[in-house]
Amino acid sequence: MPSEVYEYLRLGIELTNKHMALNEAFARWPKDRSVVLKVCQPHPEVESYFSNWLNLYAEDQLKEGAVIEEPFNIYLDTSGEKYAIMLHRGAVAEPTVTVLMSEALFWDIAARGNTVYTAFITGKPMVIQSTEGYDLRDLAHIDLILGLIHQSLLKRGIDITSLMRQ
């Protein structure tokens, strides 16, 4: 059964690819970036006892089942004439960056209450993993994608609150 996060991303990316000028939006971005976004939900007891549960989870210091994660591979397909944002469930072997965040933070960012960058620098529950050290360009890249999704949905009268209530 698809999750609310997956349905939000799927619908948002479908509309964004159809209605937004992605070639223009990503003209100055590197074309070889692949982001794995892991949206994580802790067991309620883990969340209440460990304020740094996401860091512990990222470091494999929690028992199996303490956190449920849903990974999404998000990247920009530049192979065609028109760029397209791609979404696949699951992780890829070697992404340029992996971003772990709590589900609550994901919805806050999706609703544009925060950006990925401001959430990161203000210490919100997010972990960045990269083979070359985290790259703020990758954070900006995923934030641009989430921002375009939000704009595309709003232009069609779809807001995040109505999606969450279904």
What would the pLDDT profile of 146-164 be if each residue is shown by its tens digit?
999 999 998 988 877 555 5
Residue 165, domain member (yes or no)? no
CB 158 within 8 A of CB 150: no
Residue 127, domain member (yes or no)? yes
CB 69 within 8 A of CB 91: no
Residue 29, domain member (yes or no)? yes
Residue 54, domain member (yes or no)? yes
Q: Residues, the chain, total?
A: 166
pLDDT band at 133, cuts 50/70/90?
Answer: low
Residue 166, domain member (yes or no)? no
pLDDT band at 166, cuts 50/70/90?
Answer: very low
What whole-number distance in Å separates Cα of residue 146 and Cα of residue 113?
12
For residue 61, the domain's CATH number is 3.30.1050.10
| pLDDT at res. 35 | 82
What whole-number distance in Å separates Cα of residue 18 and Cα of residue 133?
34
Q: Smallest Cα–Cα separation from 34: which of 103, 135, 119? A: 135
- Total domain count for the chain? 1
**3-state SS assignment for residue 56:** helix
Give tens-digit pLDDT for 45-84: 999 999 899 999 999 999 989 999 999 988 888 888 999 9
Q: Which two tokens stand for residue 61?
A: 């210091």
Radius of gyration of the chain (CA): 16
4 φ, ψ (degrees, to nearest 5): -65, -40
Range of the domain at 24: 4-160
Measured over the CA atoms of residue 84, residue 158, residue 144 and residue 51, the dihedral's sign is negative
Give tens-digit pLDDT for 86-128: 998 876 777 778 899 999 999 999 989 899 989 988 999 899 8
What whole-number distance in Å separates Cα of residue 35 and Cα of residue 41?
19
DSSP state for residue 81 in the 8-state scheme: S
pTM score of the predicted model:
0.87
